[in-house]
Chains A and B, each alone.
Chain A
Amino acid sequence: MSTTLPNRVIQEQVKLPVAIALEVVLQGIRIRLGRSIVTILGVALGIAFLMSILTSQLIRQGVSNEQKTRAEIQRMISFLTADSGPLRDRTIGVIQTGPLSPLETRFLDGIRDSRPASVLWAPASLGVAAPPSVQAVALAAVARDASAVVVMGDGSLPVMDWPSILEPSRQKVVAFARKIPPGKAPSTESQPAPVYAIAGATVVDLSRELKQDEIDARNAALKTERYRSVWIIVVSLLVTVIGISNSMLMSVTERFREIGTMKCLGALSSFIRRLFLIESTLVGTIGALLGVLFGIIFPLVLYGWSFSLGMVIGSLNWGQLGLYGLFSLVVGIVLSMVAAVYPARFASRMVPAAALRSNI
């Protein structure tokens, strides 16, 4: 569009390419390096706060779960030893019926950590893969050589002549790591009774069913925990929003005069907005990256100090941590952009005379 009046044509102002804006921005950051670093640190601080809150929560959850798991395995092992005696220097048999739950995997490790003479592992049926670093033997060998047999895995013992298979293990202990649902208990076609009744071995049920009040208490605790995390995350987000907005707002408002000058020289509002959009994206990205890094390392070191670093790192849900990191990164970048573009937009719409007058 152009306004034509006698003798004179006013044209549209040239729209500058992004490359020029980028050049101006990079130059500005380089020259004002000290000031830019302060702004970046402001963003980093906000994001580090948010990220450290999230990481701490994950670490606490991980450590608490790990402690519960350890206690549960300890309980299972003590139940096993209560009936079969200490596992040390004995031959322990493991029959796996299907995929192991994480708890069972850890239980298996727990058995091996109790320093038995050997652990004989046998699949209950073909197609059950051996866990890492376990040598498979035949079922009959387990029954013959092991003085205690643990059945674990998600599956049923296949229908076969269990009494004769387990015949050599008579008077031994057969432990079930999980409750066998009715109908899944091993049986023969002629005698559909549980295997242990027929095998005559001492049978131990290592699984533990939670009572209703225990379940209720656990759910209530989970609910409280969830409310508390939401509250903490909301509060830390608020702190982050205010911190980042403050540093970005300052870095823009202190340049109102510069914006006014640029407008006097013929800069379009869109060019000025683009300048600040690019700058805030750069500053926000660098700041948020630093913040995420710092927000992960700091709690790791602190909690690693009070528990052990190995336990903290081993029990941490890294996938969730990655998601949190991504979330914080996006929060940091978006907040920086919003907090910078809003005042830049305001400044770019100002009458140049007013922008030039501002003295901050």
Chain B
Amino acid sequence: MAVDQAQLNELFAEPAANQRRCIIRAVDVKKTYRMGSQEVHALRGATLDIFQGEYLSIMGPSGSGKSTLFNAIGGLSKPTSGKVYINQVDVAQLDHNELAWLRCRSIGYIFQSYNLIQVMTCLENVTLPMAFAGLQSEEAREKGLYILKLVGLGHRALHKPAELSGGQQQRCAIARALANSPEIILADEPTANLDLRTGEEMIDLLAKLKAELNVTIVSATHDLKMLQKSDRILWIADGSIIKMAHPSEIDFSKGEIH
């Protein structure tokens, strides 16, 4: 589908001073999987804007399309139809080379199971994306150590992931996500594998980073603590966005939050 440049300019016109900049925009994103002879509609048309510096949580039961939406807006998979703009660039129009550039510099990913590279030390895990961005090893090492200190893992820089606790591994993953100073951090259930207290520490860390570095955080989560710290909460069920709310509008004291 050809994109009209004028229309695009209008869409991404510089925001007025009181307006926030839209950093991720999803327009009618649909995703259909084929499972055998059956078609599964994982996403039935999701439209949303995510603004710079905000903390957005995506909520939904498993199988609701939460991860699909997460992957689509993170440039990790291509939607069947609809458009995803990251930083005002249509992701579908990028070739694999440019996508790699985007993933490397604009987005930091955090996963539920950390996904650290087991054969590398913490520091090497953090400097790897810097190497992909073409940073010299000496410079990368310095920056990596700085970031590890920032997430409170400076004393463990030369340890392998297997020698670290879950919380420390997730801290390392957060440090890695920050390696190339991205504008967006995508976190897929970052606290799900951690105990309550460590999870809370992780949430505080993310909130601190958000405040200090003005990064946009998008996270898929079930964690109530995480929801409370969010700026906005998005509910998704059966492939559709059913609700968008501010934490203050939600009564967390009840058993259910719907």
Residue of B nearest to A354 (CB): B77
Interface size class of B (residues with CB under 8 A): 35 or more
Q: A10 vs B119: C-alpha distance in the bound complex, in angstroms?
A: 31
Q: A229 vs B140: C-alpha distance in the bound complex, in angstroms?
A: 58
The yes or no answer to B132 lying at the interface (CB within 8 A) is yes
Q: Which one, A3, A269, A353, contacts B98 given CB within 8 A?
A: A3
Q: Is B88 within 8 A of A5, CB to CB?
A: yes
Q: A6 vs B10: C-alpha distance in the bound complex, in angstroms?
A: 10
The yes or no answer to A351 lying at the interface (CB within 8 A) is yes
Q: Which one, B9, B87, B109, B133, contacts A14 given CB within 8 A?
A: B133
The yes or no answer to A263 lying at the interface (CB within 8 A) is yes
B contact residues around A10 at 8 Å (CB): 89, 94, 98, 101-102
Which parts of B113-146 form the interface with A (CB within 8 Å)? Answer: 115-120, 124, 128-129, 131-134
B contact residues around A269 at 8 Å (CB): 96, 100
Residue of A nearest to B11 (CB): A6
Which parts of A148-169 form the interface with B (CB within 8 Å)? Answer: none
Q: A207 vs B232: C-alpha distance in the bound complex, in angstroms?
A: 104
Q: Is A11 within 8 A of B98, CB to CB?
A: yes
Q: Which one, A7, A13, A31, A258, contacts B101 given CB within 8 A?
A: A13
Evaluate whether A261 and B115 lie within 8 angstroms (CB atoms) in the complex, with A6-B8, A16-B132 already known: yes
> Which of the listed residues A27, A264, A268 has the most CB atoms from chain B within 10 Å of its own CB?
A264
Q: A360 vs B245: C-alpha distance in the bound complex, in angstroms?
A: 38
A contact residues around B133 at 8 Å (CB): 14, 266
Q: Which one, B76, B77, B105, contacts A266 given CB within 8 A?
A: B105
Q: Is B89 within 8 A of A13, CB to CB?
A: no
B contact residues around A268 at 8 Å (CB): 96-97, 100, 132
Q: Is A266 within 8 A of B129, CB to CB?
A: yes
Evaluate whether A262 and B105 lie within 8 angstroms (CB atoms) in the complex, with A5-B90, A353-B71 already known: no
A contact residues around B80 at 8 Å (CB): none
The yes or no answer to B46 lying at the interface (CB within 8 A) is no
The yes or no answer to A172 lying at the interface (CB within 8 A) is no
Residues 271-306 of A, flagged 1 when their CB comes within 8 A of B and 0 if not, give 100000000000000000000000000000000000
Q: A266 vs B131: C-alpha distance in the bound complex, in angstroms?
A: 10
The yes or no answer to B55 lying at the interface (CB within 8 A) is no
A contact residues around B134 at 8 Å (CB): 14, 16
Q: How near does chain A come to B9, taking the closest CB pair, in angstroms?
A: 5
The yes or no answer to B12 lying at the interface (CB within 8 A) is yes
Q: How near does chain B come to A276, taking the closest CB pair, in angstroms?
A: 14
Across the A-B interface, give the 6 residue pairs with the lowest CB-CB distance, nearest first: A266-B104, A14-B134, A31-B119, A353-B76, A353-B77, A13-B100
| A-B contact sample (11 more), CB < 8 A, given A10-B98, A266-B101, A271-B132 | A10-B94, A13-B97, A27-B124, A262-B117, A263-B103, A265-B103, A266-B105, A266-B133, A266-B180, A268-B132, A351-B78
